[in-house]
Every structure is written in structure tokens, then in C-alpha cells.
Amino acid sequence: MTTAAYRDDANKIVILNPKGGCGKTTLATNLASYFALRGPPPTLIDTDPIGYTTRWLERRPPERAEINGITIDELAPRGTHSWSFRKPREAGAIIIDTPAALNQREISEVTHDADCILIPVLPSAFDVHATTSFIARLLQLTDFERPVAVVANRTRQNTRSLAMLLEVLRSFETPTIAVLRDSQNYVHAADRGLGIYELPYHKVKHDIAAMEPVVTWLDQLLAKTLQPGLRSRFNPLPKL
């Protein structure tokens, strides 16, 4: 397995959508699983007081690829919650799972030094409306220049809801980079503290194929942010 070279100031991925229940934790944990397999160990930061990501890490078998975990309380030892933190010296990907109902100030703080932002959205009229309003707010932030992409989540093929979602998303300037299906494989993996990349391939090959555009987008983005001396040594992870 090939290890990609990352700068420790160019690897912060924020999973963001103030709408609850849209699959932020599912996306965050599966990306953490992917980066853990390729190395170096990623850092998964759970900023949601509910702590779904933290519980996922607690269920993770110790013999599996290493993932570092940080909770919001560990980032705020003095009781003042701050989204800023000192990145590990030799950090791999840093993936931040955010809570629902963030206000504009919190959104600005959590994204200010992000290298990219992923926005999962469900195929329902309410979710689409909430997400379109949120993206408009996000792009209005002062000096907002971070790459942003949308991931359609928990979709079912050949349904009216998916057609409606894709029609709306096509009108965005923000690209939709992947359409993930409503699959029980994510549930089975999460119950064991795993990601889909760690399940038998024949059971998850369709889900891995659907996730491929997300990891490809991240690979290309992080490769471009490398210093010129490191960029030539960047090798994407071979398909599993």
C-alpha cells in the first residue's frame, strides 16, 4: 500500500451541514477508514456533543488500522469551545465531523483554515432547501476561498426524490462529486467501528465505487496543495 505525502498544514477536511441527520458522521468515519488504510494515521475530530463519531472509535477493534480521535472537550480544556487546534506534527488527513445547527460565527471558525469542505445532503425537499440556503450563507463568508463539494447521500436509484435532488444540485455552482446509495453496508460497518473499505470487497464493491469520486477529489486536491518538492512523490492509493 502506498503512503501519500501530506503537509501538516494542508490536510484539514471539514464535513459540514447544519441540517442534522444528513450523514455527516457516516461520511467522516468512512473517510477516516480510507485514510487509515493508506497511512499515515488520520485524525478524526468529533465536535458534536452527541458524540456519534467518538462512540464509533470506541467500537473500533484495536488490531485495525490506526485512527487518532479528538473530542470537542479535548479541544477546549478551559471550558471555552474553540474550533482552532494545533495540528499533529506528522498528521495525515484531519477530518472534522461537525454538529447540527451551527451559527454563522461557528461556521466561519470551523472553516477558516480548512483545505476543503464536503456537504452531504439527503434526497428530500426539506433537506435540499436547507442545504441550498446553507451553501448560499457559506459562500457569503468574507474571503471564502476553500474548495466545496456536495455529496448526495442515502439515495435510491430511479426514484423521484433522487431526480429532484440531482436537478436542484445541477443548478449549483458548487459541484456534486458523488451519489452514495442508501446501503445497509454503512450501518453494518459502523456497528463494528469500521468503514466500508474494511468489509469484504464482494459485499461492498458498489459502495466503494460510489465513494471513489470523493476520495479521488480529495487526493487531487491535497496533491495540488503539496509543496513542489513533495508533489512528485505523491502517489494515490491503488484501488482496493
- 60 is a domain residue: yes
Per-residue confidence (pLDDT) for residue 51, from 0 to 100:
92
pLDDT band at 153 (very low <50, low <70, confident <90, very high): confident
Q: Give domain status of residue 128, yes or no.
A: yes
How many distinct structural domains can be found in the chain? 1
What CATH number should be reported for the domain holding residue 142?
Answer: 3.40.50.300
Share of the chain above pLDDT 90, in %: 41
C-alpha distances out from residue 220 to 20, 106, 153, 170, Å: 29, 28, 22, 22
153-163 mean pLDDT: 81
pLDDT in tens, 184-217: 999 999 999 999 999 999 999 999 999 999 999 9
Average pLDDT for the chain: 80
> What is the pLDDT confidence band of residue 224, given thresholds at 50, 70 and 90?
low
Of 132 and 236, which is predicted with more confidence?
A: 132
151 belongs to a structural domain:
yes
**pLDDT > 70? residue 90:** no
Q: What is the pLDDT of residue 4?
A: 37
C-alpha distances in Å from residue 178, one per residue of 16, 116, 211, 233: 16, 15, 7, 27
pLDDT of residue 77: 53
| In the chain, % of residues over pLDDT 70 | 80
Within a domain: residue 172? yes
In a domain, 7, yes or no: no
Please give the residue that has the higher pLDDT: either 23 or 236: 23
Q: Give pLDDT, residue 201.
A: 95
pLDDT over threshold 50, residue 231: no
- Does some domain include residue 144? yes
Q: Examine residue 171 and state whether it is found in any structural domain, yes or no.
A: yes
Domain assignment present for 158: yes
pLDDT tens for 10-66 read 488 999 988 888 899 999 999 999 999 988 899 999 998 899 999 999 999 999 999
State the residue range of the domain holding 63.
12-225
Q: Which residue has the higher pLDDT, 233 or 90?
A: 90
142-168: average pLDDT:
80
- Please indicate whether residue 139 or residue 117 has the higher confidence score (pLDDT): 117
Q: In what order do the strands lie in the sheet with 12-15?
A: 68-71, 43-46, 94-97, 12-15, 116-121, 148-155, 176-181
- Mean pLDDT score, 81-103: 73
pLDDT in tens, 98-110: 998 888 888 888 8
